Amino acid sequence: MIYQKNMSQNLINKYFFVLFSIIPISIIAGPSVSLANILIIVLSFLIYMFFIKEWTWLKDKKIKLLIILYLYLIFNSFIALDFSSSFYRNFGFVRFIVLFAAFNYFFLKFKNFEKIFFVWFIILFFLSLDMYYESINGKNIFGYGEGDRIFSFFKDEPVAGGFLYSLYLLPIAFLYNFYEGKDNFKFLIFILSLFFLVSILITGERSNTIKSFFVFFMFYIFAKNFSNKEKITSLFLMILLLSGIFLNSNFLKMRYVDQLLIHFKSKDRIVSYFSEGYFNKGGVQTNVYGKLYISGIEVFKKKPYFGVGNKNYGFETCWGDKGDTYLCSSHPHQIYFEFLAEHGFIGTVIILSIFFKLFFDLLKKININKNKIQFASFLYVLIVFMPVLPGGAFFSDNLLTLFFINFSLLFCSNKASNIFYKK
């Protein structure tokens, strides 16, 4: 009987281990596959909770705050310009609350569950290899790719850099934890970090590259694996490597220098870049992100209290005659303009208050050097809420999935902050 029980538990462990291990592959395969995998995890977890009669997590303060956020989002659907598109996105948010609970449960209760990061590392490593291959040959190993942009396994979407940036530091942090005290491995892991970092750089995704460099530097500056001398030496060698790659790539010089400096070649261009050029029709090159941000403000001004509704920015800016101040797009490409436009001032305060409350309550429990996975996920979440830099739509399925992977690991990777840990 005991043998059969152990066998059943082993099968359950392996089942959930596989589901969590293939999360990166499911995201690469496409939104439908990713959604299916997340739903299987969520439903399987709820069924498992039913059989073991474990529902105490519903009483946890963090879960209650996320449920309050969910209730607000449902309310947001009913005041949205287009109910159907908003309700679909808002109603589905509940899966991320359950996913958050599932991450917490399995990382605490299942032995060696964090070894899923070995699988994630292999997936991301081969993705990066393919990105290098495409940068040299113009197409990836399956024949996808066109022009100078890197698409890799994402076929025709230039999101490989953003995807890699969102996840690569997690398996790196795990490897540092796993090989703690073994100095022979720390430099190899550092080189692997650079391998991922350069693959993000060559995509030409400027915002994601800036973000990835920031989290990379923060991660290694605070890590105690390296002495100050080793950090300075590593930094110097890294700068030499990146400079060599950059100077030998016309594409990178065009993406990171020429397309930015063109706005500052004359007084007229500087003025147009920062003011009238946002809506200039006289041929002066304009800043598309400036247009998007101002367009987001204009949408916010129309409905300042609760906004036009989640996923309704595009509905507002793309339909009908909206005038020169609107720029038709699915979202304003910056998280705060997105929140203000689609949720208004009150909705934005509700969303940010809940997330910031969760973050600030956690700060005392973050152990930078003993739990590098938690620190890596903290850096990612911190950057998500950094102002100015452009980004994708926060409540889109893809970005919300990547966010909640990091958000969940921020809590579950440390026993002290895990919602299932009983003191």
The string of pLDDT tens digits covering residues 360-393 is: 888 877 876 678 999 999 999 999 998 877 888 8
- Is 133 domain-assigned? yes
Tell if the pTM clears 0.85, that is, is over it: yes
Per-residue confidence (pLDDT) for residue 98, from 0 to 100: 98
- Is 247 domain-assigned? yes
Q: Tell me the three state secondary structure of residue 45.
A: helix
Helix axes 335-362, 288-302, angle to 10 degrees: 80
Are 52 and 105 spatial neighbours (Cβ–Cβ below 8 Å)?
no
- pLDDT exceeds 70 at position 262: no
Q: Is pLDDT larger for residue 403 or for residue 150?
A: 403
Q: Which two tokens stand for residue 127?
A: 């993705």
- Is 355 domain-assigned? no
- Is 22 domain-assigned? yes
- Is 358 domain-assigned? no
Which of 179, 140, 173 lies closest to 156, judged by CA? Answer: 140
Convert the pLDDT of each residue in 267-312 to its tens digit: 555 555 545 444 444 333 346 777 888 888 889 998 999 999 998 9
Residue identified by tokens 């449960």 is 105
Per-residue confidence (pLDDT) for residue 261, from 0 to 100: 53
- Is 252 domain-assigned? yes
Q: Which two tokens stand for residue 30?
A: 């496409």
Structural domain of 398:
2-54+93-261+368-417
- Is 29 domain-assigned? yes
Helix axes 31-52, 2-21, angle to 10 degrees: 150
- pLDDT exceeds 60 at position 2: no
Average of per-residue pLDDT across 237-242: 83
Per-residue confidence (pLDDT) for residue 258, from 0 to 100: 56
- pLDDT exceeds 50 at position 145: yes
- Is 41 domain-assigned? yes
Which of 92, 82, 84 lies closest to 398, judged by CA? Answer: 92
d(C-alpha 389, C-alpha 207), whole Å: 6
- pLDDT exceeds 90 at position 315: no
Residue identified by tokens 């909640």 is 404
Question: What per-residue string of b and e applies to 294-322 under the rule 16 or more CB within 10 Å gives b?
Answer: bbbebbbeebeebbbbbbbbbbbbeeeeb
Of the chain, the percentage scoring pLDDT greater than 90 comes to 49
Counted domains in the chain: 1
